[in-house]
Amino acid sequence: MKRILLLVGTNLAVLLVASIVMSLLGVNTSSMTGLLVFAAIFGFGGAFISLAISKWMAKKTMGCEVITSPRDNTERWLLDTVARQAKQSGIKMPEVAVYQSPEMNAFATGPSKDNALVAVSTGLLYGMSQDEIEGVLAHEVSHVANGDMVTLTLIQGVVNTFVIFAARVVAGIINNFVASNDEEGEGLGMFAYMAVVFVLDMLLGILASIIVAYFSRVREFKADAGAARLAGKNKMIAALERLRQGPESGAMPAQMAAFGINGKRSMAEMLMSHPPLEKRIAALKAS
C-alpha cells in the first residue's frame, strides 16, 4: 500500500505546486485557451522533469551502485547478460547497478532508450538462479526497448493536464454559481476557491493515477512477452513463479516501481501498477 500512496502522492504534489503557482499568477477560467496552455505546461513539465532526473533519483533514493568494473563473476555475468540482451533489442548498453535489499526486485528507468539504468536488488541477485535472473533482466531491457518510460511520461502529462484544467473549470463553475446566488455577487473568496481547487485536484488526481496504473499494467504484459523473446518463455515463467513463491517486494519510489519486475498486491486493485503474477504467468503460457 505504501507504493500506491507514493504513486498518488507524487502526482498530487505536482498538481499542488501547479495550483499554487497558477493562483499566484492569477490564472483563472475566464480564458480557456490560457488556462489550457498553463495546464499543459505544468502537466507535461512536471512529468518530463521527473523523467529527466529519473536515473539520478534512482541512484540516490535506492542507493544503487553502478557496476563499472565487475568485482566478481556474478557481476561480470550480470553485465554480459544485459549487454547481450541490449544488443538483441537494438539499444545502447544501459548502466547496470545493484542495490541493497533483501526483497527480490529489479527496475529500469531513464530518460530514453539509449540512456537507461537497469538495477537489481541483492535479494534477487543472490536469491534466484541464473536462468530466473536472465528472465528478469530481459523483462527490464524490454521495458527500455519498448520506450515505456517515455510512453508513461506522456500519458502522465496528458492526465495531469486534464486534472489541472478540469479542476479549475469546475471550480470556476462553482464560483459563478455561488456568485449568482449571493446578494453581493462576490462568489467564493480566494482561499475558498483555492480550497475547492485543491480538493478537485486530489479527487481527479486519484482518477488520473488509476488511468496511469492501467496503462502500466498493459506495458507489463508487453515487457513479459519481450522477455520471453529475449531469454525464452520458460525462463520468464520461472522468474515469475519464483517471485510468486517468495516474499512480497518492498516499497520503491513510484517512478521506479512502475518498471519493477515485481508489484505488490493492493486492496485498491485499480491502482496496481502491475497485473497479478498469476495473470502474467497465464498470459505467457497461453502465448
Binding site per annotation, positions for Zn(2+): 139, 143, 220
On the 0-12 / 13-18 / 19+ scale of CB atoms within 10 A, 110 is buried
**Using CA of residue 218, residue 222, residue 223, residue 224, what is the dihedral sign?**
positive
Q: What is the DSSP string of 9-74?
A: HHHHHHHHHHHHHHHHTT--TT-HHHHHHHHHHHHHHHHHHHHHTHHHHHHHHHT-EE-SS-SSHH
**Burial call 189-202: b when 16+ CB within 10 Å, e when fewer:** eeeebeebbbebbb
**Which residues does the annotation place in the binding site?**
139, 143, 220
Identify the sign of the CA torsion 190, 191, 196, 202: positive
Q: Return the C-alpha cell found at 248.
A: 512480497
Given 95, 132, 134, 140, the catalytic residue: 140
Q: Is residue 134 annotated as part of the catalytic site, yes or no?
A: no
Positions marked catalytic: 140
